[in-house]
Amino acid sequence: MSSIPAARAQITQPQSGPSPIEHIVLIVQENRTFNNLFATFPGATGATKAEKKISGRDESITLKETGLGGQRNFNHNYSGWLTAYDNGRMDAFNLVRFPSSGKTEGAGPYEYVNPSSVAPYWQMAEQWGLANAMFTTQGSASFPAHQDLIRGGTAIDSSDSLIDNPPYGKAWGCDSAPGTKTSLISTYLQVNRNGPFPCTQDFPGSGTSYKTLRDLLDAASVSWKYYTPEIGVNGSIWDAFDVISPVRFGAEWGTNVNWPETNIFNDISNGQLANVSWVIPDGANSDHPNRGTDTGPSWVASVVNAVGQSQYWNSTAVIVVWDDWGGFYDPVAPPLPRDDQGGPGFRVPMIVVSPYARTGSGSQGGYISNTVYGFGSIVRFVEDTFNLGRLGTTDGTSNSMDDMFNFYQSPRQFQSIGSKYSRSYFIHQKPSGLPVDTE
Predicted confidence at residue 391, as pLDDT, reads 97
Predicted confidence at residue 433, as pLDDT, reads 84
Q: Can you tell me the mean pLDDT for 212-231?
A: 96
337 contact partners, CB below 8 Å, separation of at least 6: none
Span 370-412, pLDDT tens digits: 999 999 999 999 999 999 999 999 999 999 999 999 999 999 9
Residue of 31, 30, 63, 65 lying closest to 49 (CA atoms): 63
- Does 3 have pLDDT greater than 90? no
Predicted confidence at residue 338, as pLDDT, reads 87
Span 6-27, pLDDT tens digits: 443 445 544 556 799 999 999 9
Span 174-202, pLDDT tens digits: 999 999 999 999 988 889 999 999 999 99
In angstroms, what CA-CA distances link 238 with 7, 108, 214, 259, 380? 33, 26, 17, 11, 23
Predicted confidence at residue 85, as pLDDT, reads 97
Predicted confidence at residue 189, as pLDDT, reads 87
Residue of 111, 47, 113, 109 lying closest to 83 (CA atoms): 109
Residue of 380, 370, 375 lying closest to 400 (CA atoms): 380
Confidence of residue 438 (pLDDT cuts 50, 70, 90): low
Predicted confidence at residue 6, as pLDDT, reads 41
Confidence of residue 239 (pLDDT cuts 50, 70, 90): very high
CA separation for the pair 148, 379 (Å, rounded): 9
Residues 109 and 361: beta-carbon distance below 8 Å: no
Predicted confidence at residue 232, as pLDDT, reads 75
Span 51-106, pLDDT tens digits: 999 999 999 999 999 999 877 889 999 999 999 999 999 999 999 999 888 899 99
CA separation for the pair 248, 62 (Å, rounded): 47
Predicted confidence at residue 365, as pLDDT, reads 87
Domains along the chain with CATH numbers: 23-48+115-161+203-427 (3.40.720.10)
CA separation for the pair 107, 104 (Å, rounded): 9
